[in-house]
Structure 1
């Protein structure tokens, strides 16, 4: 039998904490994120092993959130300290998610956009495309639904996207749409549409700050990935 290895024994590029610092939290799987919260393993299992077991036993992050402390304590190796860490982090996430991005509030990051749209778009069965209008201080003016259905060039036409921008004299915009599949990775069509809309914005003098794709419990930001 191979000797037990802790995460510290892994190559640095494979360790969840180092990977997060190098590539950003959105690049980590749910298992890796949970492992960082759990911090370390025990009983001959690594934090990754414990995280994987929790996700399997409770059916995902939502199941862990809904489980009681008593139910979680039934998982071998998960004691009061780890339960408290899990519950505290999940509660913080819920409180952030409950903070709506109201008109007049400034934009700080793609995460702000994700948390605002997650409740309505994160589990939607159809694709929706929105344009968020911002003033010259990156404060929200309003959001406009441009299309509903499969994201195609015919449905997301620059004319329909930029009409409300002109009416509201917006200085900048953020595009938002969802993937019903749950995987927010952009398709070739997403990339092409974003490129065309960015080109039109450049001609009009309207800054395109981001295009955020909403998935199940995660998102993809064109700006964060340097794709704008």
Structure 2
């Protein structure tokens, strides 16, 4: 397999397709790798496979709709068989950092509503300790400064320091599909991932954070030598 990043994303997505069965209710992730899965899934649907997709973002919804994949909302299908999604980082025990695409809240809700979550990525996303990728934290617009101070304090309690800033797009604050802002915390390595996640959960202005712990059951990681399967024991 070529080490071309796009080709590797497609191979990881193709491997995930092998876990999809006729009649499944699927959570459809957000991001460039998830997009490749949606495109491959659409080919199966066109060939007669029956599935229903629940998209994790407006972006994924638009792509899936254009490609003819039958869609439902989580209200209509609150219990899903499988979610396929990408990740910004994959750490030990299939802990993840997600949210680079800005859809982390909906991604986490959909993943939690699924019996199983499979992560697809290329090998550059696999790390020994999470945190080189800035941690996205979705926050309420009300009380933004107070929330940012609370995030900084939570970081200090876990011996984490670094720049935290409101994500911008086209010179304006980036607004999520849910109407919130995203704060990107460049704290570096986060050894005590669970403790820090719990601390963030206690901040009232934090809607959700990009630490996904205990949600993924499998990762399909594309390498130049083929697709590697990582389970939760990694």
Higher relative contact order (CA 8 A, sep 6+): 2
TM-score (norm 2): 0.28
TM-score (norm 1): 0.29
Higher strand share: 2
Higher helix share: 1
